[in-house]
Amino acid sequence: MKENKVDENFYYLMKYIKERNVEKMIIAIKQNFLYLKSYNLKKYQSITNYYNKYKLWGTIDLDNDDLVLIERNAVSLVNYQKDFEWLYNSLSDYKSKIILLNILTYWLMIDDQKINNLLDNTYSQYFDLDLIKINQNEVFVDVGAYTGDTVAKYINTFGKNNYKIIYCYEMVSDNIKYLNNTIKELDLSNVIIRDKAATNINDKGFISSEKISSVTQVIEEGDIEVKTVKIDDDIKGRVTFIKMDIEGGELNALLGLKNKIKKYKPKLAISVYHNNNHLWKIPKILSYLNPKYKFYLRYYGGALVPTEYILYAV
């Protein structure tokens, strides 16, 4: 139902996508990149350099016919159009719907104006006070704790008296050193560090470096071994609030705590930007695990490319 211009624009985009197959969508996105290159070479170079640096969404080099990013965007838009439409109708406010609309439009148009005004600095990332309510019995699980920046934000947002216990999952040794220092500087008690990678299997994996980094991923082969665990098995008892940002490992980590989600229905703040399909796939899985979840999107990224968007499930 088209109740306003946001709805109208979203369903116009869906209609545009429905009328094209993957091949035609690739052509359309490539033309938009070429147009950007022709009128603003500096911006084109900044955008392509960003994508090629992180490689999460694919690489792009029009001069050498590298269209991996374009192909992935085209496949996501065309093959999962119905899933994005489901997500749009599942979002609980128009702020979230606008964020989704502008992200999908950016994938097609490469128009930074679509994301330029999405950033909201009202609240700290993961802690939107209009969505997240906590109390003194909170069991907070920080998956991808990095150097303790999220724990510090939690304390700055809610204070030291509004949690029962905090679990921090972090697998990079240098990150853990800083994490320990952060906890000491904040003078916190009942904070437990798990030097493990949260995933959907109790086994082992590998990382490429132990140096401080916010973009480390678990890989199948490497020199540095890390323990992988299912949070379902690693934490005994209830959890009430889970934050997750683990560079594309979010889907597997959620599958590794599906029993806790079913049983305790914790509040969730999940990064869904590391893989295009996580944007719809993660809320679909969560909706299956707990049909009563309400979903919201919030945007904390910059204006160059759409990134740092968070799914809240409450």
Q: Which helix (H) or strand (E) holds 9?
A: helix 5-18
**How many angstroms separate the CA atoms of 52 and 22, rounded?**
22
Buried b (16+ CB within 10 A) or exposed e, 35-55: ebbeeeeeebeebbeebeeee
DSSP string, 250-310: HHHHHHTTHHHHHHH--EEEEE--SSTTHHHHHHHHHHHH-TT--EEEEE---SSS---EE
The reported pLDDT for the residue numbered 119 is 86
The reported pLDDT for the residue numbered 210 is 57
Mean pLDDT in residue range 224-252: 93
pTM (2 decimals)?
0.94
Which residues contact residue 238 at a Cβ distance below 8 angstroms, ignoring those fewer than 6 apart?
139, 260, 263, 264
Asked if the model's pLDDT at residue 215 lies above 80, the reply is: no
Q: Which helix (H) or strand (E) holds 232?
A: helix 231-234
**How many angstroms separate the CA atoms of 218 and 196, rounded?**
11
Mean pLDDT in residue range 69-87: 98
Distances (CA, A) of 88 to 7, 30, 95, 281: 9, 26, 11, 13
Q: Which amino acid is at 22?
A: V
Asked if the model's pLDDT at residue 3 lies above 70, the reply is: yes
The reported pLDDT for the residue numbered 207 is 65
Residue linked to tokens 């490429």: 208
The reported pLDDT for the residue numbered 223 is 76
Residue linked to tokens 């705590």: 257
Return the half-sphere exposure (C-beta side, CA atoms, 13 A cut-off) of residue 58: 17
Question: 142 and 166 in contact (C-beta within 8 Å)?
Answer: yes
The reported pLDDT for the residue numbered 216 is 63
Length in residues, the chain:
314
Torsion angle, CA of 205/207/212/213, rounded to 10 degrees?
A: -100
Domains and CATH numbers, the chain: 5-116 (no CATH), 139-271 (3.40.50.150)
What sign does the dihedral 122-128-134-140 (CA atoms) show?
Answer: negative
Question: 228 and 256 in contact (C-beta within 8 Å)?
Answer: no
Instruction: Give the model confidence (pLDDT) of 156-212 as tens digits.
Output: 999 999 999 999 999 888 999 999 999 999 999 999 999 999 999 988 877 665 555
Burial class (CB in 10 A: 0-12, 13-18, 19+), 273: buried
The reported pLDDT for the residue numbered 11 is 96
The reported pLDDT for the residue numbered 120 is 85
Instruction: Give the model confidence (pLDDT) of 51-61 as tens digits.
Output: 999 989 999 99
Q: pLDDT above 70 covers what percent of the chain? A: 94
Confidence tier at 219 by pLDDT (50, 70, 90)? low
Query: In DSSP terms, which residues pair with 166 in a beta bridge?
Result: 140, 191
Mean pLDDT in residue range 95-104: 97
Asked if the model's pLDDT at residue 113 lies above 90, the reply is: no
Joined tokens for residue 274? 């590391």
Instruction: Give the model confidence (pLDDT) of 37-52 as tens digits.
Output: 999 999 999 999 999 9
The reported pLDDT for the residue numbered 202 is 86
Q: pLDDT above 90 covers what percent of the chain? A: 83
What are φ and ψ of residue 301, in 5° steps? -90, -170
The reported pLDDT for the residue numbered 269 is 98
